[in-house]
Amino acid sequence: MQAPQTSGRWADFGVRLASAMVLGPIALLCLWHGGLAWSLFIAAAVAGMGFEWAKLASLGLNNAGTWLIVAGLLAALALGHFGVIFGFAALALATGIAGLSCGWFAAAGIPYAGVGALSLLWLRLQPAHGLYDTMFLVVVIWSTDIGAYLVGRLAGGKKLAPKISPGKTWSGSIGGLLIGGLAAAMLAAEGHGVDLAALPAGFALSLFAQAGDLLESWIKRKLGVKDSGRTIPGHGGLFDRLDGFLAAAPVAAILALSVHGGLPLWG
């Protein structure tokens, strides 16, 4: 009786791994090049999330509200290149217009996706440590996701939030936190062991990433859907894959601004 249960735990592993092996290098290549490549990558992701959110809000592809959501997100990103304050102003304006024209739930998707996207854009565009800081964030979130997935399925145990996301366990959450923080500290050490000064930032970003995951699970549970979409095989939609970034990227940007008055974000 145990074998089928174990098999079920790993049923999606192959598809998830294949998707990650395709999309991961693309994301890293755009991150490495920065500039236009990173901007276009973020724009493609945010447009996809806009369409996904419109569908969750029961807006059809031909509905003007759908295109308002997508256009508002893309306009905020475009203006964000001239200053993050302009991007946030565009988000606020687009949210207000969308709320009045197609409902406040539909409008909520604009800041939900847009704040994190603007933070990712701003973080990478910083001339001194933009690449390093964004890579730090990516390593934390990817390591947290991988750690939580593997530890949760190997160890099992008590559910973390059974009414929100029945598949998540306390063991997976703690494993993801430890692995995410440790991976970030190893990156910060640049091949010289572990940089203990980077652990607090790594743990904080891991916690916010997991909170973002739970928030998105809660939204899906309220809407009665399993995934935000079917964009990425084995992962669901873009929100399912990027929920941790949407919550942790603003925190990374704040850390980059506040820790010792600048960058890198861990001090």
Is the pLDDT assigned to residue 258 strictly greater than 70? Answer: yes
Degrees to nearest 5, angle at CA 211 with 206 and 213: 95
Give the 3-state DSSP-derived string for 18-46, with helices as H, strands as E and coil as C. Answer: HHHHHHHHHHHHHHHHCHHHHHHHHHHHH
At which of 125, 141, 159 does a domain end? 125
pLDDT (average), residues 169-176: 95
Give the 3-state DSSP-derived string for 71-113, with helices as H, strands as E and coil as C. Answer: HHHHHHHHHHCCCHHHHHHHHHHHHHHHHHHHCHHHHHHHHHH
Helix (H, G, I), strand (E, B) or coil at 248: helix
C-alpha distances in angstroms, 227 versus 21, 88, 89, 218? 21, 28, 30, 11
Q: Would 217 be classed as within a structural domain?
A: yes
pLDDT band at 153 (very low <50, low <70, confident <90, very high): confident
Residues 112 and 95 in one domain: yes
Residues 217 and 162 in one domain: yes
Give the chain's mean pLDDT.
89
Express each pLDDT in 62-114 by its tens digit. 999 999 999 999 999 999 999 999 999 999 999 999 999 999 999 999 999 99
Residues 144 and 234 in one domain: yes
Domain of residue 50 covers: 34-125
The tokens for 170 are 């306390």
Residues 88 and 166 in one domain: no
User: Does residue 158 or residue 263 have the better pLDDT?
Assistant: 158
User: Does residue 259 or residue 102 have the better pLDDT?
Assistant: 102
Is the pLDDT assigned to residue 2 strictly greater than 60? Answer: no
Sign of CA dihedral 49, 54, 60, 66: negative
